[in-house]
Structure 1
Amino acid sequence: MNWIFLIIAGLFEIGFTSSLGKAKESTGSTMYLWYGVFVFCLFASMFLLMKALKTIPLGTAYGVWTGIGAVGTVIVGILVFKEVASFWRLFFIFTLIGSIIGLKMVSN
């Protein structure tokens, strides 16, 4: 169950980083709405990470959490914010995904 908490925490990390990008593009009340989404996702992510740490080693949990957030944020950046999807950028994202899977496989 704690691995599920960790994965959901990583998804909320994608939410809080992506909402900062949307807030940067917005003005007025829409900007504050995106900052509200940021705060909600931040607290949800930290709470779920804290729950996952009850049984998952700190180094593994943090690596997986940040990896999910990093990969997801790059994907959102490419799809939503029209960032460049170069060969090397995608190559290193897939390397990061392999590392996340490796951490899961070697953890108890």
Structure 2
Amino acid sequence: MAWLVLIVSGLFETVWAVALAETKGFTRLLPTVVFGVAVVVSMGGLALALRSIPVGTGYAVWVGIGAVGTALYGMAVLGEPATALRMLCLLLIVSGVVGLKFAH
């Protein structure tokens, strides 16, 4: 169950990262509210998951999900470049996170 909570929390990290960019320096109300709710859910889930997952592994998985999710969102929705090198780098992040999960 802790791993499921951690994965969902990582997805909420993607939500708050995207919402943060959309706040335009916290000048837009709706993205600011989405950011606030998502960051609380994300951090709360991380804290809950870290009750039974080692902190180094849990944090790396959480950040990895958020980083990869945010980068993919940028490429798919915001028109950021999806070059082979960027995709390779994302694959390296995923590989590292999976490796940490199985090495703990």
TM category (shorter chain) comes to over 0.9
Aligned counterpart, 1:48 = 45
Deviation, structure 1 residue 23: 2.8
Aligned counterpart, 1:14 = 14
Which sections of structure 1, spanning at least 5 residues, go unmatched? none
Q: For this pair of structures, how many residues does the alignment match?
A: 102
Which amino acid counterpart does residue 71 of structure 1 have in structure 2? V
- Please list the CA deviations of residues 45-71 of structure 1 after superposition, one character each: whole Å capped at 9, or x if unmatched: 000000000010110011000000000
Identity between Structure 1 and Structure 2 (%) = 40
Aligned counterpart, 1:94 = 91
Runs of 4+ that moved beyond 3 A: none
Give the RMSD, CA atoms, in angstroms.
1.1
TM-score by length of 2: 0.93
Which amino acid counterpart does residue 11 of structure 2 have in structure 1? L
Which sections of structure 2, spanning at least 5 residues, go unmatched? none
**SS of alignment partner, residue 91 of structure 1:** helix
TM-score by length of 1: 0.89
Asked if 1:33 corresponds to 2:17, the answer is no
